[in-house]
A and B are shown apart, each in its own frame.
Chain A
Amino acid sequence: MEIFSNLLLGFQVALTPFNLLMCLVGVLLGTLIGVLPGVGPVATIAMLLPITFNLNPIGALIMLAGIYYGAQYGGSTTAILVNLPGESSSVVTCLDGYQMARQGRAGPALATAALGSFFAGCVATLVVAMFAPPLAEVALKFGPAEYFSLMVLGLVAAVVLAHGSLLKAIAMVILGLLLGLVGTDVNSGVLRFAFNISELADGIGFVTVAMGMFGLAEIITNLEHTETREVFTSKVKHLWPTKEDWKRLWGPVLRGTFLGSALGILPGGGALLASFGAYTLEKKVSKYSHEFGKGAIEGVAAPESANNAGAQTSFIPLLTLGIPSNAVMALMIGAMMIQGIAPGPQVMTERKELFWGMIASMWVGNLMLVVLNLPLIGMWIKLLTVPYRILYPSILVFMAIGVYSLSNNPFDVFLMSIFGLLGYVCVKLECEPAPMILGFILGPLMEENLRRAMLLSRGDPMTFIQKPISAGFIIASVILLVIIALPALRKKREEVFVEE
């Protein structure tokens, strides 16, 4: 079979000592920047670009790819330990991961994240190897109408993310949508809600909002409760998932991997939806759904598997079509062009050793990550025993550095502080930030695709129903909406979801 000879070629490339070293450097760096809040793979890869000029193309790309998926691993560490999502994909990991840490179950949470990611990474790598070309065609089937309908479904599902009052969840989604409106209107180029501040012309950055609403707000809130501060460091019971945990783990990991692999292929923000989607799905199907938001291990396993699977499959549109699905992939295109490789469909046929070498290196990299990360868990747990008077200021410093590095502008640091205050107000009002963040991410994408679809259909809204894929998402959204809205069910829902 051709695939085996191709994979063999790939492993021959990936397992040369130099490429192994590049892979290790990449995943190490990735883990490190993933753990540092706010310092993301985009800034790191950009800084490393000039160094890659002098490397051979394969080694350079293997290292850059390693940074990317390494950061996904590292990002979940801070999400679980200190409620700080470094990447949009780890926002949902905060929900249950941090709660687990508070109950002294940070070890199992971290192990779940690492093992789930590893499993998902392996499966997704195989998916890339076997189905890259046909899947690329699927990606092309998604146009503005399809993306819009997918986002509608995502937004309706956002309400499920909340475990408090339904009304508050909807209010937070709308607040997120409104914040997403800030910036330049794509169609006309008009500035909206920017108050003549040129820093707001490109909208508010996701990392800025997430750092403020989650991290900063968490720190402020914790400073209030002097008496409960030491709680979750004292009762660390075990580092590994229990037998019971393992039983609850595998289903969510499988479903998350599947969902993540599927959504990762879509270039227009599909990977973003992966972890949100996986969490929502688990909350709906799990028999432990009453534990979600209070430290359910499924709530860590599913989104972590999904985001790592999505990170791997998002290479498909890049490698087969030359279309980057996110900012990191755009940087990879830059790196390839610097090396004189024009990213596009011909990479797969003309540069076989590069294409398959990268795919094989992803598997090798995932293995390295799990080997690196499992022993580190003990060390991360120790981090929780660091007194808050030292831990919090250092987190603050790293957050400020990270946010500043987004565009080398102090404005973003001020903005983060404002969102920190807003986050604190939300905590006091018992409004949860996760639905807001989802609204904030999906809103602009949804608006953009809605208006583009309407432009293309010359103003005919039937376009969303005439296209089969789009119609499917719309129907699914309506069904979900009915379930949420039915009064009888809503009563039950509140019994289930309001936490006391």
Chain B
Amino acid sequence: MMRRALAALALFSAAAAACAQAWPTKPIRLIAPYAAGGPIDISARLIAPKLQEALGQPVIVENRPGAGGNIGADLVAKSAPDGYTLVIGAIATHAINPWLFSGLPYDPIKDFRHVALIVQVPNVLVVNNELPARSVGELIALAKAQPGKLDFASGSTGSTGHLAGEMFKLMTGTYMVHIPYKGAAPAVADLMAGRVHLIFDNLASALPNVKAGKVRAIAVTTRQRSAFLPELPTLDESGLRGFDMTTWWGVMAPGKTPQAVVERLHAEVFRALESPDVRQRLRAMGSEVPAVRTPEAFTAFVASELKTYGDLVKRSGAKPD
């Protein structure tokens, strides 16, 4: 009896091993939970051909936009954990939305294996050219002198730009009015026209207008200065100690995906990220190869982000009720 059980066990683990060895034997779907053409979709389409080449199976990018990315993320959370359905999970789907949407159908930690972080982009604090503040200190002084007079724009309620503004308000004890838009583009247009005073915009979209002198950048939101605008101080060094916000996204798999598959995927994703052409194109989007280098570190990173934004959403009252 025992021997038979052992033999069965041996057979089973051999089969499991063979299974992992054999992966992938069919096409892989990479779900981008946002609309085509956005930075998340583009980065997915950048790495997909590299993965396809390395894994020997087609890797198909599929857009499943909707509900702030929740539809796509939920689809993968509930897919078979066999490594054939992956998702680009982002700061919105995995750190912010769980606090904004009551009854989110997935758990951002337990329902996913966090395979590899692929992009980290800083946000930049950009002000209208007419605004007298030329530094963070001057902006704080201005906001304190005229409480409730300054407007900060964002691409949507609950976006990183919105939450960065809320964090700024909490840390400086100032009051500014949040003006949400549908996407960053119209918000930037109103910033240029001077209808709103400032915005926390992501580096890639802010950079051209900053360089053309149409608007003025006064700080980055990350702990370290950005290689793209090295002269720009961080909020942290400008007196807002500990201010550290990055927009990020990465490849994730369903929660029970086998370790061997996760490791193989992780290695291939990083190989893709380090290939010169992908690297160059991600740089154009304002992102360096991330420093989070193992799946476990990625999970820890997601968990810490989840906590940070949970605190922030609660303290700032950003959650709709």
A contacts, CB < 8 Å to B: 42-43, 45-47, 49-50, 53, 139-141, 143-144, 184-190, 196, 198-199, 201-202, 267-268, 317, 321-324, 327, 330-331, 333-335, 337-340, 342-346, 407-409, 448, 452, 455-456, 458
Q: A140-B189, A187-B180, A334-B37 are in contact. List 15 more A-B contacts (CB 8 A).
A: A42-B37, A144-B195, A202-B65, A267-B185, A317-B189, A323-B188, A327-B35, A330-B37, A330-B38, A337-B39, A337-B284, A408-B63, A409-B71, A452-B179, A455-B179
**C-alpha spacing A346/B182, complex, angstroms:** 25
State whether A330 and B185 are in contact (beta carbons under 8 Å apart), knowing that A53-B281, A201-B68, A407-B65 are contacts in the complex.
yes
Smallest beta-carbon distance A9→chain B, Å:
21
Any A CB within 8 A of the CB of B211: yes
- Are B64's CB and A409's CB within 8 A? yes
Count, A-B residue pairs, CB within 8 A:
157
Q: A458 vs B177: C-alpha distance in the bound complex, in angstroms?
A: 9
B67 interfacial contact with A, CB 8 Å: yes
A201–B156 CB distance below 8 A: no
Inter-chain contact A46/B36, CB cutoff 8 Å: yes
Taking a contact as CB atoms under 8 Å apart, the answer to whether A321 and B36 are in contact is no
B272 — which chain A residues lie within 8 A by C-beta? none
Which residues of chain B are within 8 angstroms of A50 by Cβ–Cβ distance? 45-46, 48-49
Residues of B within 8 A of A47 (CB): 36
Are B208 and A198 in touch, CB under 8 angstroms? no
Known contacts A198-B70, A345-B212, A346-B212; is-contact A46 B37 (Cβ 8 Å): yes
CA distance A420 to B39 in the complex (A): 35
24 example contacts (A-B, Cβ-Cβ < 8 A) are as follows: A49-B37, A143-B193, A144-B190, A185-B320, A186-B180, A186-B181, A190-B321, A198-B70, A199-B66, A268-B186, A321-B209, A323-B186, A330-B37, A330-B185, A334-B37, A334-B41, A337-B284, A338-B46, A340-B284, A345-B212, A407-B66, A409-B64, A455-B151, A456-B179
Tell me the smallest distance from the CB of B166 to a CB of chain A, in Å.
Answer: 13
Indicate which residue in A196, A409, A452 contacts B181 across the interface (CB closer than 8 Å).
A452
Shortest beta-carbon distance from A190 to chain B in Å: 4
Q: How far is the CB of B317 from chain A (nearest CB, A)?
A: 11
CA distance A190 to B182 in the complex (A): 14
Cross-chain contact B212 with A186 (CB below 8 angstroms): no
Which chain B residues lie closer than 8 Å to A345 at the CB level? 208-209, 212, 214
B143 within 8 A of A: no
Q: Are B151 and A456 in contact (CB under 8 A)?
A: yes
B268 within 8 A of A: no
Interface contact A346-B211, CB-CB below 8 Å: yes
Assembly CA distance A322 to B148 (angstroms) = 30
**A141 and B207: CB pair below 8 A?**
no
**Chain A residues with CB below 8 A from B49, complex form:** 50
Give the docked Cα–Cα distance between A46 and B44 (Å): 12
Task: Find out whether the CB atom of A188 lies under 8 angstroms from the CB atom of B189.
Answer: no
Which residues of A lie under 8 Å from residue B185 when comparing CB positions? 267, 323-324, 330
The distance from the CB of A165 to the nearest CB of chain B, in whole angstroms, is 35
Cβ distance A452 to chain B, nearest Cβ, rounded Å: 6
Is B42 interfacial (CB-CB < 8 Å)?
A: yes
Closest to B277 in A: A53
Bound form: Cα–Cα A342–B48 in Å: 23
Minimum Cβ distance to chain B for residue A401 (Å): 15
C-alpha gap A458/B285 in the complex (Å): 36
Contact A323 B189 (CB under 8 A): yes
Q: Is B81 engaged at the interface, CB distance under 8 Å to the other chain?
A: no
CB-nearest residue of chain B relative to A197? B67
Chain A residues near B281: list those with CB within 8 A.
53, 338, 340
Q: Known contacts A186-B156, A345-B209; decide if A267 and B186 are in contact (CB<8 Å).
A: yes
Q: Quick one: given A186-B156, A186-B157, are A346 and B208 in contact (CB under 8 Å)?
A: yes
CA distance A47 to B37 in the complex (A): 9
CA distance A334 to B193 in the complex (A): 24
Q: Are A188 and B182 in contact (CB under 8 A)?
A: no
